[in-house]
A and B are shown apart, each in its own frame.
Chain A
Amino acid sequence: MTGRVIVITSGKGGVGKTTTSANIGTALAKNGYKVVLIDTDLGLRNLDLLLGLENRIVYTIVDVIEERCKLKQALVKDKKNPNLSLLAAAQTRDKTAVNAEQLKDICDKLKEKNDFVLVDCPAGIEQGFQNAVAGASEAIVVTTPEMSAIRDADRIIGLLNTKEDINSTKLLLNRVRPNLIKSNEMMSVDDVVGILEIPLLGIIPEDTGIITSTNKGEPIVNDENALAGKAYRNVAQRILGEEVPFLNLDEPKGFMAKLKNAISKLKVKV
Chain B
Amino acid sequence: MLMEKGLVENGFIIDLSAAQNTTQLVSELNSIIEHPDVRRKNVCLKLGSLDLKQSQLLSIKALIESKDASIAFVDTSSEQTEASAVSLGIVISKVSEQDIQQNLNENVSEETATEGTGEYNNEENRTVEITPEIELPTGTIETAEGIEDIYDEMSTQEISEVIPSETFNSSDFGSFAAQEGLLPTEENSKYILLDTGNVLPEGIEENSSDNAQLPTLYLNQTLRSGQTVNYNGNIFIIGDAHPGSEIIATGDITVWGILGGIAHAGSEGNITSKVRALKLNAIQLRIAGLYARRNDTMNVPYVQKTNEFTPEEAQIEDGKIVIYKKLRRN
Question: Which residues of A come within 8 Å of B, CB atoms?
Answer: 99-101, 104, 125-127, 130-131, 134, 151-152, 154-155, 157-159, 161-165, 187, 190-192, 194-195, 197
User: Contacts A187-B302, A195-B303 known; A162 to B56 CB distance under 8 Å?
Assistant: yes
- B39 near A: Cβ within 8 Å? no
B55 proximity list for chain A (CB < 8 A): 161-162
CB closest residue in chain B, given A163: B23
Cα A151 to Cα B225 with chains together (Å):
7
Top 6 A-B pairs, shortest CB-CB distance:
A158-B224, A194-B303, A191-B302, A100-B27, A162-B59, A154-B225
A158 proximity list for chain B (CB < 8 A): 59, 223-227
Pair A157/B22 contact, Cβ less than 8 Å: no
Instruction: Knowing that A99-B27, A154-B224, A155-B226 touch, tell me 6 more A-B residue pairs with CB under 8 angstroms.
Output: A100-B23, A101-B24, A127-B30, A159-B59, A162-B59, A164-B22
CB closest residue in chain A, given B24: A101
- B205 near A: Cβ within 8 Å? no
Cα A197 to Cα B241 with chains together (Å):
12
Pair B224/A157 contact, Cβ less than 8 Å: yes
Cα A191 to Cα B227 with chains together (Å):
22
A87 → chain B closest CB, angstroms:
20
Q: Return the CB mask of B238-255 against A: 1 if under 8 Å, else 0.
A: 001011100000000000
CB closest residue in chain A, given B244: A151
Pair B23/A134 contact, Cβ less than 8 Å: yes
A130 proximity list for chain B (CB < 8 A): 26-27, 30
B226 proximity list for chain A (CB < 8 A): 125, 154-155, 158-159
- B31 near A: Cβ within 8 Å? yes
Pair B225/A191 contact, Cβ less than 8 Å: no
Cα A127 to Cα B24 with chains together (Å):
13
Pair A164/B21 contact, Cβ less than 8 Å: yes
A167 → chain B closest CB, angstroms:
14
Question: Which residues of B come within 8 Å of A, CB atoms?
Answer: 21-24, 26-27, 30-31, 34, 55-56, 59, 222-227, 240, 242-244, 302-303
Pair B59/A194 contact, Cβ less than 8 Å: no
Main DSSP-derived SS at the A contact region: helix
Q: B222 contacts which of A101, A104, A159, A197 (Cβ < 8 Å)?
A: A197
Pair A127/B302 contact, Cβ less than 8 Å: no
A40 → chain B closest CB, angstroms:
14
User: Contacts A154-B244, A194-B303 known; A127 to B34 CB distance under 8 Å?
Assistant: yes
Cα A41 to Cα B263 with chains together (Å):
36
Cα A135 to Cα B219 with chains together (Å):
29
Pair B27/A134 contact, Cβ less than 8 Å: yes
Can you spell out 6 A-B residue pairs with CB atoms less than 8 angstroms apart? A100-B27, A101-B24, A158-B225, A161-B224, A164-B21, A197-B240
Most B CB contacts (10 A, CB to CB) among A101, A158, A194, A195 go to A158
B27 proximity list for chain A (CB < 8 A): 99-101, 130-131, 134
User: Contacts A126-B34, A127-B31, A195-B302 known; A155 to B225 CB distance under 8 Å?
Assistant: yes
A100 proximity list for chain B (CB < 8 A): 23-24, 27
Cα A154 to Cα B244 with chains together (Å):
9
Pair A194/B302 contact, Cβ less than 8 Å: yes
A99 proximity list for chain B (CB < 8 A): 27, 31
Pair A151/B222 contact, Cβ less than 8 Å: no
Q: B303 contacts which of A154, A163, A165, A191 (Cβ < 8 Å)?
A: A191
B23 proximity list for chain A (CB < 8 A): 100, 104, 134, 163-165
CB closest residue in chain A, given B27: A100
B67 → chain A closest CB, angstroms:
11
B238 → chain A closest CB, angstroms:
14
Cα A184 to Cα B61 with chains together (Å):
40
Pair B303/A155 contact, Cβ less than 8 Å: no
Most A CB contacts (10 A, CB to CB) among B23, B31, B34 go to B23
A184 → chain B closest CB, angstroms:
11
B223 → chain A closest CB, angstroms:
8
A155 proximity list for chain B (CB < 8 A): 224-226, 244
Pair B243/A151 contact, Cβ less than 8 Å: yes
